[in-house]
Amino acid sequence: MTDMPAPAKSANARQSGSFEHLVYVLRANPVTLLAFGLFAFLIFCALFGPSVVPYDPLETNAAKALQPPSMEHWFGTDQIGRDVFSRVIVATRLDLSISVAAVALSFVVGSILGAIAGYWGGWLDIILNRFLDTIMAFPLFVLAMGIVAALGNTIENIIYATAIINMPFYARLVRAEVNIRRDAGFARAAKLSGNSDLRVLALHIFPNALPPMMVQVSLNLGWAILNAAGLSFIGLGVRPPTPEWGIMVAEGANFIVSGEWWLAVFPGLWLMIAVFTFNLLGDGLRDIVDPRKRT
């Protein structure tokens, strides 16, 4: 009953159609617009943060220790007099790089494994599923702790650990998306047109699985940031005095019970905003990609 005739449009209808839809979604959902704005701000901080902050994030000043937020120090100073605002902004680059690197790694590996398993099935699929089941059999944050503890306490290993625990989500999503399209008419038609299995998979099926993947990427970036910050909160990966949100919250936590709230609250708030941005962005992308799946 919803089969409306396609509206008549000019030759470049597709582009203008998508653009109109994008404008429509953004107008109907200002939250998504806000998310895009925050995202741009985070990117700006990551790229230019170190050169625009008012103080050196590592410079200590015992005379100015534990000052509450003021015009001079917007977010106050910490126990050894470092400017919390500068540290929070500078940390953006590190936190974002860790999560972007981890998500990129798991996206690539997960997509390849999932696409192969979903298309060819059989024993490849069984082995991949067993492997993923085993990874997923661990509470994921706990597995990341174990991996970093075993491989050694470095930022690279935080990235690998985060990538490993994210990978099953991509592999499963791609596997499912490829699997439902494996026998779709257009995939069979592509074979009749002389495409080999690999071409059908790479050029016809995989591109159609990309939109849900992008939603997953966005949601996952937020989760990856949380994980990395959580690991450094318990003392893994990033070491002091490097500015990083998780470790700053951990250091500030000791001062909460005596009322110096700004040490922990501002980096925590920033962390939250970053994660929030990616989650909103993911929901917004989901809206743009498929309005029906809106939840």
CB nearer to another protein: pick between 60 and 125: 125
State yes or no: residue 117 binds another protein (CB under 8 A): no
- Stretch of 52-60, 63-71, 77-85, 275-283 lying at the interface with another protein (CB under 8 A): 275-283
String of b and e for 23-42 (b: at least 16 CB within 10 Å)?
Answer: eebbeebeebeebeebbeeb
State yes or no: residue 1 binds another protein (CB under 8 A): yes
CB nearer to another protein: pick between 55 and 67: 67
Residue 15: partners with Cβ closer than 8 Å, 6 or more residues away: none
CA distance 256 to 265: 9
State yes or no: residue 9 binds another protein (CB under 8 A): yes
- Stretch of 85-93, 94-102, 111-119, 250-258 lying at the interface with another protein (CB under 8 A): 250-258
Per rule CB under 8 A, count of chain residues that contact another protein: 83
Q: Which residue has the tokens 């993923």?
A: 132
Residue 247 CA from chain centroid, whole number = 19
Residue 160: partners with Cβ closer than 8 Å, 6 or more residues away: 102, 105, 147, 151
Q: Which parts of 177-216 interact with another protein (CB under 8 A)?
A: 184-186, 188-197, 204, 207-208
State yes or no: residue 30 binds another protein (CB under 8 A): no
- Stretch of 1-9, 37-45, 59-67, 84-92 lying at the interface with another protein (CB under 8 A): 1-9
Alpha-helix residue ranges (DSSP H) falling in the chain: 13-28, 30-52, 84-120, 122-136, 140-151, 155-182, 185-192, 197-199, 206-233, 245-256, 262-289
Q: Pick the binder of another protein from 23, 28, 52, 108 (CB under 8 A).
A: 28
CB of 158 to another protein, least distance (A): 13
CB nearer to another protein: pick between 62 and 150: 150
CB nearer to another protein: pick between 58 and 273: 273
CB of 170 to another protein, least distance (A): 15
Instruction: Give the closest residue to 92 by CA, choosing from 60, 57, 135, 122.
Output: 57
CB of 258 to another protein, least distance (A): 8
Helix axes 30-52, 13-28, angle to 10 degrees: 90
The DSSP letter of residue 237 is S
Cβ contact 201:224 at 8 Å: no
State yes or no: residue 71 binds another protein (CB under 8 A): no
State yes or no: residue 233 binds another protein (CB under 8 A): yes
State yes or no: residue 147 binds another protein (CB under 8 A): yes
CB of 17 to another protein, least distance (A): 7
CB of 57 to another protein, least distance (A): 20
